[in-house]
Structure 1
Amino acid sequence: MVRVEGHWRNRSWVAAHYRHPMRPGADQTVLVLPPAWSVCIDLSAHGGPFPAEPVDGRPRATAARTPAARRAVRRQDGAVPKLIENASRVTAAGTPPKTIDEYVGRVNSGDDAVSVAHMRSPSGWAEPGQTPEFDEYTLVLRGALRVEYDGGELTVAAGQAVHTAPGEWVRYSSPGPEGAEYVAVCLPAFEIGAAHRDDEAGS
């Protein structure tokens, strides 16, 4: 943003030139004169766009980056916190049965970019191996989760987390006496067809 100040007929004026971050070429200059009126000029019609660097040696204006300004933009866009009151119980794979409560995802919130699920697996639970198309981040809250992969296995204890990458074969289980309680985050959101479990045809 370029800010230029001056005086005309004993009145102060401010000209601010800015470049729209999402619309290249939509550069504008706003001329503000007291008491409170302004003129907006589309620079693309006057030989623009123009350099976004200051032309008068002054530092860039930072008012638009203040927390208050950012909050105002978010309010204009309708972006406010959204309460997710309940989870949806999702069918789980493996035996003995575990519980999956999805808070964010395709089932409960309609989100396909990310899923967040709270899981509880009993002692002795194991599910088929899978080669998913998504990243999965798992945070263990209680007990321990065993993660088998090509070439080895690891145990994720309470307070630890594990990341498995797309295209990597993995198999989860909770053989310990406490079972496991954990939160799984998938990017993009979990979808049964994208898990490619070993017991599925064509996996």
Structure 2
Amino acid sequence: MKKYFIQNTPFIVPTTDGKLIEEHHGLATTNNAQISIAHMIAPPKWSEPYQTPEFDEYTYIIRGKKQFIIDDEIVILETGQSIKIEKNTRVQYSNPFDEECEYIAICQPAFDFTKVHREV
């Protein structure tokens, strides 16, 4: 029995906003409720509604910039920077810039649509 698993077929999350989401580990791919790891590319001028998730979220910027509004404070991360946002924190993610942003997102416990609590 192998003690490792190489993910070659991440789950491509269907989106309507032009954002690429490839979940490598998590509920949708490996049925892992403890952690999710996703590769993402946010197009220029992309944004999501505010949310207050029930999980910690770590983001590492591979390329470009990403804007976070965390409890009304604007934080901009650039290539090579990372952030941890504590669960139950109101946050909005966006890329208001003119270039796409490539990043890795890790959620603990795993990302779950029923626990993200996006505002309408």
1-structure distance, mates of 2:92, 2:59 = 13
- Please, what is the CA RMSD of the aligned residues? 1.3
Aligned to 1:172: 93
1:188 paired residue number: 109
C-alpha displacement at 1:174, in angstroms?
0.5
Amino acid in the other structure paired with 2:88:
G
Q: 2:5 — aligned with what?
A: 82
- List runs of 5+ in structure 2 lacking aligned partners: none
Query: Which residues in structure 2 correspond to 1:92-107 (within 5 Å)?
Result: 92=15, 96-107=17-28
Aligned AA (2:97):
G
Letter of the aligned partner of 1:163 in structure 2?
K
Which of residues 65, 71, 91 in structure 2 aligns to 1:150? 71
Distance 2:33 2:10 in 1: 16
Aligned residue type for 1:179: E
- The one of 85, 94, 108 equivalent to 2:29 is 108
TM-score by length of 2: 0.94
Instruction: Tell me if 1:129 matches 2:50.
Output: yes
* Aligned residue identity for 1:91: P
- Provide Cα deviations, 1:9-49, integer angstroms capped at 9, x if missing partner: xxxxxxxxxxxxxxxxxxxxxxxxxxxxxxxxxxxxxxxxx
- In the superposition, the TM-score normalised over structure 1's length comes to 0.57
Q: 4+ runs of 1 displaced by more than 3 Å?
A: none
Give the partner amino acid of 1:149. I
Distance 1:105 1:119 in 2: 14
* Alpha-carbon offset, residue 151 of structure 1: 3.2
Q: Secondary structure at the match of 2:28?
A: coil
The letter for the 2-side match of 1:145 is: K
Equivalent AA in structure 2 for residue 84 of structure 1 = Q
1:79 Cα offset (Å): 5.7
SS, match of residue 111 in structure 2: coil
Identity of aligned residues (%): 34
Q: Which has the higher strand share?
A: 2
- Give 5+ residue unaligned stretches, structure 1: 1-77
Q: Say how many residue pairs are matched.
A: 120
> Which structure shows the bigger proportion of residues in helix conformation?
1
